[in-house]
């Protein structure tokens, strides 16, 4: 479901929970990513009775800070939702974690496919967590520059599409925005990363930031699962230029958009104005 703009949208809409105290913690007991159960006992011990002091994001990961040194680490996988419900709201199916707040609201992690992740980390050492340790630069937090991107790309013998999806380089770009950014700079997704020129790298770095910021301004892209912490869908889908638009005319040159598979993921491009 979620790439950087969607996760950032959730982060922002979850902010009204800051200051509230956690009065109850409940779980489904179902395993999540890799069939691993969430460390519920540790989560409960660290969160119960504590106030939420912040909600942060790095790449596609969310961190919910509480009093003390603990933070709840959350990844939404493909179908995960992380929402703030009003008091008494019905509990949706596939709800794996519930944090009841002192005013009756509930933060709930819901994930039918269970590709998501919920962990507990110590803030002081959070970057040592395997999921966070490998993350590259977040385009909207740390920023990415053309020269840096060029240097990264030179050393990799993968397609540019795969390169953009590599979270150890850029943290937060996923399948939608990888196709969108490459369309903007008129480069085929199949182009080898090492063949990216310096000028192209500058344009690509700018395009990555632009597509992410544009989507964020629209509350993210809702294809099927995505809603913010208030349950509201984002309306960025109508602004996508190529993703999910096989057969539709390219907005630049009217050629039919093509769909191909790169590393097992659907990839969209214009065969005319995106150069190999």
Partner DNA sequence: ATCACGACCTGGAGGC
Partner DNA sequence: TGCCTCCAGGTCGTGA
Our CB check for DNA shows the closer of 131 and 211 to be: 131
Give the shortest CB-143-to-DNA separation in angstroms: 19
CA atoms within a 13 Å half-sphere pointing along the CA-CB vector of 202: 3
Our CB check for DNA shows the closer of 22 and 201 to be: 201
Give the shortest CB-229-to-DNA separation in angstroms: 14
Give the shortest CB-87-to-DNA separation in angstroms: 26
Task: For residues 127 and 197, give the distance between their C-alpha atoms in angstroms, rounded to a whole number.
Answer: 32
Binding site for DNA (CB under 7 A): 1-3, 6, 31, 33-35, 59-60, 75, 77-79, 93-94, 112-115, 130-131, 134, 156-159, 162, 165, 167, 174-176, 220-226, 234, 263-266
The residue among 256, 261, 258 whose CA lies nearest residue 269 is 258
Give the shortest CB-206-to-DNA separation in angstroms: 21
Find out whether 234 and 218 touch, Cβ atoms under 8 Å. yes
Alpha helices in 166-197 (DSSP H): 175-184
Our CB check for DNA shows the closer of 117 and 270 to be: 117
Catalytic residues: 2-3, 60, 265
- The DSSP code for 273 is T
The residue among 53, 54, 3, 50 whose CA lies nearest residue 24 is 50
Angle between helices 198-217 and 4-14 (to 10 degrees): 40
Our CB check for DNA shows the closer of 33 and 252 to be: 33
Alpha helices in the chain (DSSP H): 4-14, 40-47, 130-133, 146-154, 160-165, 175-184, 198-217
Our CB check for DNA shows the closer of 61 and 85 to be: 61
Give the shortest CB-183-to-DNA separation in angstroms: 15
In order, the DSSP letters of 7-60 are HHHHHHHHGGGTTPBEEEEEE-----GGGPPP-HHHHHHHHTTPBEEEEEEETT
């Amino acid at each position: 479901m979620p790439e950087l703009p969607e996760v950032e949208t959730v982060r922002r809409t979850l902010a009204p929970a800051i200051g509230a105290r956690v009065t109850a913690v409940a779980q489904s007991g179902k395993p999540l990513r890799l069939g691993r159960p969430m460390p519920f006992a540790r989560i409960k011990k660290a969160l119960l009775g504590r106030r939420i002091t912040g909600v942060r994001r790095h790449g596609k990961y969310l961190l919910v800070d509480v009093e003390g040194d603990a933070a709840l680490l959350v990844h939404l996988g493909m179908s995960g939702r992380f929402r703030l419900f009003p008091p008494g709201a019905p509990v949706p199916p596939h709800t794996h974690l519930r944090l009841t707040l002192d005013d009756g609201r509930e933060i709930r992690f819901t994930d039918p496919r269970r590709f998501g992740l919920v962990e507990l980390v110590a803030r002081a050492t959070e970057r040592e967590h395997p999921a966070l340790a490998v993350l590259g630069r977040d385009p909207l937090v740390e920023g990415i520059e053309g020269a840096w991107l060029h240097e990264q790309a030179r050393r990799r013998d993968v397609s540019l599409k795969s390169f953009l999806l590599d979270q150890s380089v850029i943290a937060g770009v996923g399948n939608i925005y990888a196709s969108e950014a490459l369309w903007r700079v008129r480069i085929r997704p199949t182009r080898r990363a090492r063949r990216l020129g310096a000028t192209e790298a500058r344009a690509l770095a700018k395009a990555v930031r632009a597509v992410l910021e544009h989507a964020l301004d629209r509350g993210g892209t809702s294809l099927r699962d995505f809603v913010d912490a208030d349950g509201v869908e984002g309306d960025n889908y109508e602004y996508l230029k190529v993703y999910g638009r096989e057969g539709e005319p390219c907005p630049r040159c009217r050629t039919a958009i093509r769909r191909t598979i790169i590393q097992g993921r659907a990839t969209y491009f214009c065969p005319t104005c995106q150069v190999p």
